[in-house]
Chain A
């Protein structure tokens, strides 16, 4: 499976500020996704990070609030903009579809625990 490095692992932020989360994979992957997991809840897909083009957002998530970059097949960032306490959650990077192995399994980074005061 791919080795996924996600950082920061946790952060405490002030209301109105922005935080950028980075996701680095040790191999080329076709699919990269960003999920949110609120306390006691399951995973909610925020968007699919598309290499070289705009991300595809799920219903309820917009680019202005969660801008995403994916400049190549191994790296992506998610920014949580103009944060409010409601954005406090765990944010997870996930990858699938290894270019080399044609692997459709989905693997997760270690997550970013975000607390907004």
Chain B
């Protein structure tokens, strides 16, 4: 059974710090990797996608992928209180089967 694992948190960081969120997956054929942000009472919002090994940066967000280690991470630089949310890691094999992790709750303290 395909699994995606994340630390449930909560992960607490001070405002302005770097938040590091980690995710591991079990299925080696996974090709695409996503990070979703979900505010309380809202639906998940796609914030990052990554498909090849290495880093991908978008504003304050950097996704990192290491397929050999089956590991994907999300770094949030200059964390803001508005970044406080649950972050869901998701993996898929060619867009047919999406598997979501349990989510990591991030709290950015002012």
Contacts and interface: CB of A to CB of B under 8 A. Distances in A.
A90 B44 CA distance: 12
Contacts of B45: 108
Interface in B1-41: 32, 34
Contacts of A31: 95-96
A105 B34 CA distance: 8
Interface in B77-109: 88, 90, 92, 94-96, 98, 100-103
A11 interface: no
Given A42-B101, A42-B103, A104-B32, A109 B94 contact: no
Interface residues of A, number: 19
Interface in B45-92: 45-46, 49, 88, 90, 92
B88 A106 contact: no
Contact of A42 (B32, B42, B92, B102): B102
Given A43-B88, A111-B43, A104 B101 contact: no
Given A42-B88, A42-B101, A96-B98, A105 B46 contact: yes
Interface string A89-105: 01010001100000011
Interface in A68-117: 90, 92, 96-97, 104-111
Contacts of A104: 32, 92, 94-95
A111 B42 CA distance: 8
A17 interface: no
A34 interface: no
Interface of B: 32, 34, 42-46, 49, 88, 90, 92, 94-96, 98, 100-103
8 smallest CB-CB distances across A and B, nearest first, come from: A104-B95, A108-B43, A42-B102, A111-B43, A43-B100, A42-B103, A108-B44, A110-B43
